[in-house]
Amino acid sequence: MQGIDEGWNKEITKNTNLTDFIDGFFDFIHPVPVGEDVRRIGENYHMGDIVKSETDREIEKERLKNEYKIVFTGDSVVELVL
């Protein structure tokens, strides 16, 4: 572990391809292009539909959080029926 650069984490940005970074860090070479394989497999499982569904779910969750935040922190009165 002595040969590891102390500032390695500063090389990572929002645009860094982490697969390539980690492969380079460990001197690992893929026998086939992994990114293309993942994309091809994703297409077989309708990845676009799954991403849309998950995105829609997150948008709805945020909408509900904002709605409840307004109800509980706004000037509204919340009645709890016992």
Question: Residue 7: pLDDT band by 50, 70, 90 thresholds?
Answer: confident
Question: Residue 52: pLDDT band by 50, 70, 90 thresholds?
Answer: very high
In tens, the pLDDT along 56-69 reads: 999 999 999 999 88
Per the document, the length of the chain is: 82
Q: What is the mean pLDDT of the chain?
A: 84
Between the CA of residue 69 and those of 36, 47, 59, 64, 72, what are the distances in Å?
42, 33, 15, 8, 5
